[in-house]
Amino acid sequence: MNKRLLVANVMEKIGATDALLALRRMAGFPYLPVVTFHRVLDPAKQAPYLFDEGVVDSAPEEFERQIKTIGRFFTPIGTDDLAAAMAGAKLPKNPILVTFDDGYKDNIEVALPIMKRHSVKAVFFIATQYLSRRRMFWWDRVNYLLKRSNSASLKLSYPNEIELPLDTPADRATAIRTALRIVKTHVGLDLEYFLELLAKAAGVAWNTRIDRDLAEAALMTWDQVRELRRAGMDIQSHTRTHRVLQTLDAGQLRDELQGSKEDLEEQLDAPITSISYPVGHRLVEREDIRKALDDAGYSLGFTNATGTHRMRRDGDRYDVSRISLDYGTPDVLFRARLAAPFLFPTR
């Protein structure tokens, strides 16, 4: 048992978690928890699961317990509330931001009914071009190709020469991590070319029909995004194609930031002011990206730097940290992280 879970279990056993959660409702704390979800499903019920388990954060019954805790003890807010608070306005007691990245269909089919039951609203950050073009997210495509491959090894010539074994489940998992890391870190990568080569190297068929069929099964439509908004949810940007901002040139940055904002405003007829960064790296020493965000008209930027966001009037509006979840996070640990952020890593 790790130290965090040990502390959480002790807190739960002595009643400290509930006491602190109740205290948070009555007293102001300078911490804003921002909880991140991507998918709500049980991969075991879809075995063999051919996509990225790393973006499956909760099973439906687990998510219900998490949202019940949030609805009982916290006041969910939107990005407009946070932007106003960073400019000096007052937040409600015990605020929280619930966020979803990407645009998966289970967000509306599974998560939305649960959130409605507990009167919890959320922010949905949408990677726009995948929804418009009905194409599968690149990380799910990587997983699909390598999980379906019958090849004994994977040989790639771009962006570098590489050969990886696929003999065992551990080998295959390593190959998937390696391919994902290439997309996340290689500056100037031609993503579509890389994915085409990956399919050939894996010996797995990939074409427009397969792409569309998988996307139709997994991704929301724009009508569903509009339905989320009518249900009181906040819709914001997650770029166009989910590229890591630090790997892009100025023109690509502009297209991802300004383009996704324009896509959403056209579809929703509403202003878009916030963005969560794909993969979520902090903008350390990247004034070019900050300027591109300014030029595109964003007010807030959300990272995946794990921690509870400390509220300061002079805080960095492009560095809002979030609490990332792992599938199967024990309820006691989830509750403890919300109750006592000062006991867990924060910035």
- pLDDT in the model for residue 284: 86
| Band of pLDDT at residue 232, cut at 50, 70 and 90 | very high
**Whether pLDDT at 346 is above 50:** no
pLDDT band at 281 (very low <50, low <70, confident <90, very high): very high
Residue bearing the bigger pLDDT, 168 or 315 = 168
**142 and 198 in contact (C-beta within 8 Å)?**
yes
What DSSP string runs through 157-175?
Answer: -SSS-EEEE-SSHHHHHHH
Instruction: Identify any residues that bridge with 125 across adjacent strands, giving them in sequence order.
Output: 101, 236
- What is 140-159 written as a DSSP string? HHHHHHHHH---SEEEE-SS
Work out the pLDDT band at 345, boundaries 50, 70, 90: low
DSSP letter string over 263-290?
Answer: HHHHHHSS---EEE-GGG---TT-HHHH
Which residue would you say has higher pLDDT here, 273 or 311? Answer: 273
Whether residue 1 has pLDDT greater than 90: no
**Mean pLDDT confidence for 323-337:** 92
pLDDT at res. 344? 64
- The architecture that CATH gives domain 30-134+219-343 is Alpha-Beta Barrel (3.20)
Question: Is the pLDDT score of 127 beyond 70?
Answer: yes
What does the pLDDT read at residue 217? 98
253-264 average pLDDT score: 98
Q: Does the pLDDT value for residue 172 go beyond 60?
A: yes
In whole numbers, what is the pLDDT of the chain averaged over residues? 94
C-alpha Rg value of the chain to the nearest Å: 20
* pLDDT tens track for 88-117: 888 888 999 999 999 999 999 999 999 999
Is the pLDDT at 227 greater than 50? The verdict is yes
How do residues 12-49 score in pLDDT, each as one tens digit? 999 999 999 888 877 767 788 999 999 999 999 988 99
Q: Is the pTM of this model over 0.75?
A: yes
Q: How far is CA 211 from CA 8, 128, 151, 176, in A?
A: 43, 16, 21, 19
Residue 347 pLDDT exceeds 50: no
What three-state secondary structure class fits 8?
helix
pLDDT over 90, % of the chain? 83
Q: How far apart are CA 1 and CA 4, in angstroms?
A: 8
Per-residue model confidence as pLDDT tens digits over 40-77: 999 999 889 999 999 999 999 999 999 999 999 999 99
Q: What is the pLDDT of residue 29?
A: 73
Q: Tell me the two tokens of residue 24.
A: 């948070």
- Give the model's pLDDT for residue 22: 86
